[in-house]
Structure 1
Amino acid sequence: MASGAMGPSGGAGLSQLFLISAVLTTGVLGDRFSILRASPSVHFRDAGPLPGGRIPDVVSLSMGFSVEEDLLWPGLAIGSLFHRPRANFLVTVRGVEELVLPKSEISYIVENRLYMVGKANTIFEDLPVTLRQMRNCLFQEDSVLRFLPPNSLNKNNEVDLLFLSELQVLHDISALLSRHKHLAKDRSPDLYSLELAGLEEIIKRYGQDSQQFRDAAQILASVIQKFADEVFSIYSGNALIELLTVKEFDASLVRKTRSILESPSISNPGSPYGLAYRYNYNYAVVFNIVLWLMIGLALAVIVIAYNLWNMDPGYDSIIYRMTSQRIKME
Structure 2
Amino acid sequence: MYFLFKYICLLCITFNAYIECGEITVNYAPSSLRFGSAGSLHTSEFDDVITTCMGYTPESLTWRGLTVTSAFKYPVASVVFGLKTEGVSIKIEGISYELKEDVSLSKTFDSVKSLIASRARRPVHFEKINVLDLVNKIEGLALPKAKHLNRHNAVDYLFLQEISTFPLITDFIKKNSSASNNGQDIIFIQVESFAPLVVTYGAASPQTSYNLAAEYGEDFPVIFNIVLILSIILIVAIIAVSVSMAFMDPGRDSIIYRMTNPRMKKDQ
1:42–1:80 Cα contact (<8 Å) kept: yes
Q: In the alignment, what sits opposite 1:31?
A: 22
- Equivalence map 1:116-195=2 (5 Å): 116-117=105-106, 129=133, 136-139=140-143, 145-146=144-145, 150-151=147-148, 153-178=149-174, 180=175, 183-195=178-190
Residue 134 (structure 1) shift: 5.1
> How high is the sequence identity, in percent, across the aligned residues?
22
Aligned to 1:44: 35
State the structure with bigger RCO (CA 8 A, min sep 6), 1 or 2: 1
Structure 1 position 66, deviation (Å)? 2.7
Query: Who is 1:66 aligned against?
Result: 57
Structure 2: segments with no counterpart, 5+ residues:
1-16, 111-124, 209-268
- In structure 2, the residue corresponding to 1:173 is in which secondary structure? helix
Residue 94 (structure 1) shift:
0.8
2:45 aligns with 54
Show the counterpart of 1:92. Answer: 82
> 1:190: how far off?
0.5
Residue 175 of structure 1: how far off its partner (Å): 3.1
Q: Please state which structure has a larger fraction of its residues in strand.
A: 2
Q: Deviations over 1:121-179 (max 9, x none)?
A: 79999x8846565562134xxxxx14x6x21x22232222221222122232123345x
CA contact (8 A) 1:128 1:134 kept: no
- Listed as ranges, the gaps of 5+ residues in structure 1 are 1-25, 140-144, 214-330
1:55 maps to a residue whose letter is F
Q: Runs of at least 4 residues of structure 1 off by over 6 A?
A: 121-125
In the TM superposition, residue 77 of structure 1 has moved relative to its aligned partner by 0.9
Distance (whole Å) between structure 2 residues aligned to residue 170 and residue 72 of structure 1 = 35
**Residues paired across the two proteins, number:** 174
CA contact under 8 A between 1:123 and 1:176: conserved in structure 2? no
Instruction: Tell me how far apart the structure 1 counterparts of residues 207 and 139 of structure 2 sit (CA, whole Å).
Output: 19
- Counterparts of residues 244-259 of structure 1 (less than 5 Å): none
In structure 2, the residue matched to 1:285 is none
Identify the match of residue 73 of structure 2 among 83, 96, 105.
83
Corresponding residue SS for 1:136: coil
Report the Cα distance in structure 2 between the residues aligned to 1:187 and 1:175, rounded to whole angstroms: 19
**How far, CA to CA, are the matches of 1:28 and 1:73 in structure 2?**
22
| TM-score normalized with structure 2 length | 0.54
